[in-house]
């Protein structure tokens, strides 16, 4: 299984972790990326200057399909398109 998560840098929502604890969507997405990498899953991660909206999905859905359908070699697997290294 391959993964192609993308996240907007302006997604300010918080994800509750427990009593009086939460994490930002950006932190959660980077953590998810790191977990997938640590477990050896092929992943292409990207961050973009935007929020959580359909305009961005419409612009990148085609790219995601191509990347997920094509073989991983030479397609940027395990490379980031954004910060968080």
> In this predicted model, what pLDDT tens digit does every residue of 23-79 receive, in sequence order?
887 888 889 999 999 999 888 888 888 877 777 777 778 878 887 787 655 445 554
Sequence spans of domains, the chain = 6-80
pLDDT bracket for residue 85 (50, 70, 90): very low
Q: What is the pLDDT of residue 72?
A: 58
> How far is Cα 79 from Cα 85, in angstroms, rounded to an integer?
10
Whether 33 contacts 43, CB under 8 Å: yes
pTM: 0.67
């Amino acid at each position: 299984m391959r993964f192609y998560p993308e996240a907007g840098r302006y997604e300010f929502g918080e994800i509750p972790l427990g009593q009086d604890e939460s994490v930002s969507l950006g932190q959660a997405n980077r953590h998810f990326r790191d977990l997938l990498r640590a477990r050896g899953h092929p992943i292409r991660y990207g961050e973009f200057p935007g929020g959580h909206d359909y305009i961005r999905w419409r612009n990148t859905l085609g790219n995601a399909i191509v990347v997920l359908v094509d073989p991983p070699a030479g397609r940027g697997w395990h490379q980031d398109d954004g910060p968080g290294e």
